[in-house]
Amino acid sequence: MPIISVNNRDVHIQELNTAASETILLVHGMLGNLSVYYFRIAPILAKHFHVVMYDLKSHGMSEKITTGYDLNSLTDDVAHLMERLSISSAYLAGYSFGGLISLKMAVRFPHRVKKLVLIDAPNPNDDKTRMMMDAYNRESLENYLNGPNKTKPGKRLIDRKHRLYEHLFHETTIKRDVMGERDFFSAAEIAQVKQETLLLYGCYSPCLEAGESLKGKISNAALVALNGDHDIPLQEPEKIGNMMESFFRNQMAQA
């Protein structure tokens, strides 16, 4: 498992097809890790692209960090990673909170982002996000993981996720930092995003309204609603991988 030093911090990365001439950078969501892409989405993209995945700070195998979960800090992390890997620009895709990081990258570093895919990115002003973090406990985690249309998790998975959640919510600034981004969708800078943008959302996801809002704000955006909820990368990985590949290769995405 490659661990590299980026801005004096340990970051877990995975790369596929390093010989390809163009790069796709994949950003996972809060409380997840790069495995959401690694097994079923990244191999599709790696047929034609160099694919880079990494674990956000305090996630997966990356170093645990107490602060810096606001979008400016997290996009600085992406920019430093790209510099470390000598990637001047890339196609960028992000899932859930990773979608917000990717969108902020297009706002702050437009010269580094060729095209953009946002997968079920939430509106950070949605009260459900704040309520979930405030009310978190092990029982709420188990209820979510055992919800409809989900594969029943084992005890080891629940224990691992519970430790991560406890660390993030009680030992870092993540709750404060995420709440500090609640006006991001209202920022005029989103309307300045010029990259072609593909918005992939679950048709049953509570975040679909956020996708519709972004479609109205980003001039060159297309919204596709897939059969699923917020977990569409797990429910429709091949479809998402194929749509991303077509989009990044200048072909029209089809639902």
Domain membership flag for residue 150:
no
Q: What span, in angstroms and rounded, lies between the C-alpha atoms of 40 and 246?
A: 16
Q: Are the C-beta atoms of residues 89 and 112 closer than 8 Å to each other?
A: yes
Give the CA-trace dihedral at 130, 228, 60, 176, to 10 degrees: -10
pLDDT at 227: 96
> Pairing relation of β-strands 50-54 and 3-6?
unpaired
Residue 59, domain extent: 3-126+184-248
Q: What span, in angstroms and rounded, lies between the C-alpha atoms of 22 and 91?
A: 8
Q: Which residue has the tokens 């990494």?
A: 54
Domain membership flag for residue 212:
yes
The CATH number assigned to the domain holding 98 equals 3.40.50.1820
Tell me how many degrees the CA angle 124-130-131 measures, rounded to the nearest 5: 140
Domain membership flag for residue 175:
no
pLDDT at 135: 53
Kindly give the residue spans of alpha helices, DSSP state H, lying in 46-110: 71-84, 97-108
Q: Are the C-beta atoms of residues 76 and 157 closer than 8 Å to each other?
A: no
Domain membership flag for residue 197:
yes
Q: φ and ψ at 56, to 5 degrees?
A: -60, 160
C-alpha 35, offset from chain centre: 12
Domain membership flag for residue 96:
yes
Kindly give the residue spans of alpha helices, DSSP state H, lying in the chain: 35-38, 42-45, 71-84, 97-108, 127-134, 138-145, 155-171, 174-179, 208-217, 232-235, 237-248
Domain membership flag for residue 219:
yes
- Give the chain's domain count: 1
pLDDT at 22: 96
Domain membership flag for residue 145:
no
Domain membership flag for residue 131:
no
pLDDT at 156: 78
Is the model's pTM score more than 0.85?
Answer: yes
Tokens linked to 59 = 């996630």
Q: What span, in angstroms and rounded, lies between the C-alpha atoms of 228 and 236?
A: 8
C-alpha 52, offset from chain centre: 13
Tokens linked to 236 = 């429709």
| pLDDT tens digits in sequence order for the chain, 255 residues long | 699 999 999 999 999 999 999 999 999 998 899 999 999 999 999 999 999 999 999 999 999 999 999 999 999 999 999 999 999 999 999 999 999 999 999 999 999 999 999 999 999 998 766 665 565 555 655 565 666 656 666 677 677 777 888 899 889 999 899 999 999 999 999 999 999 999 999 999 999 999 999 999 999 999 999 999 999 999 999 999 999 999 999 853 444
Q: What span, in angstroms and rounded, lies between the C-alpha atoms of 255 and 249?
A: 16
Q: Are the C-beta atoms of residues 56 and 74 closer than 8 Å to each other?
A: yes
